[in-house]
Amino acid sequence: MVKLIASLLLLAVVAQAYGDFKCSLAVPEITKDWVDMKDACIKGMRHQIQEEINASYQYLAMGAYFSRDTVNRPGFAEHFFKAAKEEREHGSKLVEYLSMRGQLTEGVSDLISVPTVAKQEWTDGAAALSDALDLEIKVTKSIRKLIQTCENKPYNHYHLVDYLTGVYMEEQLHGQRELAGKLTTLKKMMDTNGELGEFLFDKTL
C-alpha cells in the first residue's frame, strides 16, 4: 500500500511538472484500406455495447436487492451479480473487437453512457427471474438485429457476423433456456410451498 501511494504521488508530481501526458509525435501516414467497417454496422455495434452495459447495471440492481438484510436471498444475489459481470464482459469484448477493426480512434468519450436502472425492487424471486428472462430476450433481439445489419449488402461483414453468431448468440440462447428452466422450477416450488419454496430454491443457486 505504501508503494502504491508513493507511486501515485510521484505520478502526480510528474504530471504537474510536464502537463498532460499526450503523445507529441505526428501520426504516420499509412493506408486505411484495412479499416473497412461501414457506418450502419459500427452504429449497431456501439448500440449493442450500450445494451450490454444496461443489462449489467440492471443485474447489479437485482443482486443488490437480494443482498439486503431484509430480503436475504444470497443465492439469487450471487446469481445476478455473476450475470452482471458476464454482461459487462460482453460489452468489453465488443469494445475490443471495434478496436481490433480500427474503429476507436475517435468518438470514444460517448461510447458508453451510465444507464438509469429501470427497476430496483421485486416482489419475489420469481418476479426477478421473469424480468431477467425478458432482459435476455431483449439483448438477444438486439444481437439478431445487429447481425442482420452487418451481414446484408453492401456491408457483408462475415467475420463479425460469424463472431456474433458463434459466440454471443450461442451463449444467449443457452442462457435463455437456463433462465426459463429456473423460473419454471421456482414457480412450481412456490405454488406448492410458498415462501419456503423460494427459500429452498435460493439454496440451489
Q: Phi and psi of 120, rounded to 5°?
A: -130, -5
Residue 90 labeled ligand binder: yes
Q: Counting every residue, how long is the chain? A: 205
Q: How far is residue 99's CA from residue 37's CA, in Å, rounded to a whole number? A: 11
Residue 52 labeled ligand binder: yes
Q: How far is residue 127's CA from residue 110's CA, in Å, rounded to a whole number? A: 33
Residue 78 labeled ligand binder: no
Q: Phi and psi of 116, rounded to 5°?
A: -95, 125
Residue 120 labeled ligand binder: no
3-state secondary structure (DSSP) of residue 160: helix
Give me the residue label for grid cell 459487462: 88
Nearest residue to 90 via CA among 159, 175, 192? 175
Positions at the binding site for Fe cation: 52, 87, 90, 136, 172
Positions at the binding site: 52, 87, 90, 136, 172
